[in-house]
Structure 1
Amino acid sequence: MTAPQPRPPGKSTTPTPNPPRPAEPAPPPTAMGEPKDVAEGVLTAVRPDPQPGNGRFPVAWLTICTPRDAIPTATSKCLCGRDRSAVGRSRVLALVAEHTGHREECPLHTPQEGRTAA
């Protein structure tokens, strides 16, 4: 075994009076509140639903994609199970007309009274 190295000048040579102790568990919280979702100090506001709804919801979708200098494509989907697609200008135009006609014959479409009056 070698002798301990002398300490450089200016360093403390006094031994630590109390050795470190093992960590103690944190005390249980005194009051239980609501769980926090955000950091303290952050204001939160619960706003009403901006779209409360009027009983209407989408039933059919028509998607048309016409990239520049490319062939146009379209898809027509409905919740009744109808799913059609078309490629090319003339077929896309025909699908648009077919989609418009399907709105009147779809089994999920229920005519609303007074719709024409509104």
Structure 2
Amino acid sequence: MAHVLPPAPPMRSGANTRQEPVTVGALRVVAEGVTTAVRPDQQTGDGRYPIAWLTITAPRGATPTATSICACGRNLFAAGHHKALALIADHTDHKTRCPLRADLEGAAA
């Protein structure tokens, strides 16, 4: 559903600007009566999408943490310098043995 905004109050300057109601997501009137279309992002993508996420938090003076999440059901958390480094290495290794990633690579071949 498009929402229609009310027209702006008239301007007192001598500029040639025509104001019309603006419909959100449709045409918009800009300076000097030039209309432009507001469109959604036209990026088409290449069909890839993320299946695994690694989040690392290491604030100054605090305990570092890491979280490894994958669409296959993996959800691991580590706190502390050595445990976070071990989880980062395990997350990298998980890419080679994740069943979802193996299916995607086999389908592309």
Q: What TM-score do the two structures reach when normalised by structure 2?
A: 0.64
Mapping of residues 39-118 of structure 1, within 5 Å: 39=5, 40=7, 41=20, 42=22, 43=28, 45-109=37-101, 110-111=104-105, 112-113=108-109
How far has the Cα of 1:91 moved from its partner? Answer: 0.6
Number of residue pairs matched?
79
Seq. identity, %:
53
Residues 14-57 of structure 1: CA deviation (Å, up to 9, x unaligned): xxxxxxxxxxxxxxxxxxxxx75231523172325332121100
How far has the Cα of 1:87 moved from its partner? Answer: 0.3
Distance 1:60 1:74 in 2: 13
Q: Which runs of 5+ in 2 are unaligned?
A: 8-19, 23-27, 29-35
Distance 1:55 1:37 in 2: 33
Q: Which runs of 5+ in 1 are unaligned?
A: 1-34, 114-118
RMSD: 1.9
SS in 2 for 1:55: coil
**Equivalent position to 2:3, from 37, 45, 55:** 37
SS in 2 for 1:108: helix
- Structure 2 counterpart of 1:24: none
SS in 2 for 1:75: strand
Q: Which protein has the larger Cα radius of gyration, Structure 1 or Structure 2?
A: 1
Residues 65-86 of structure 1: CA deviation (Å, up to 9, x unaligned): 1111000011000000000010
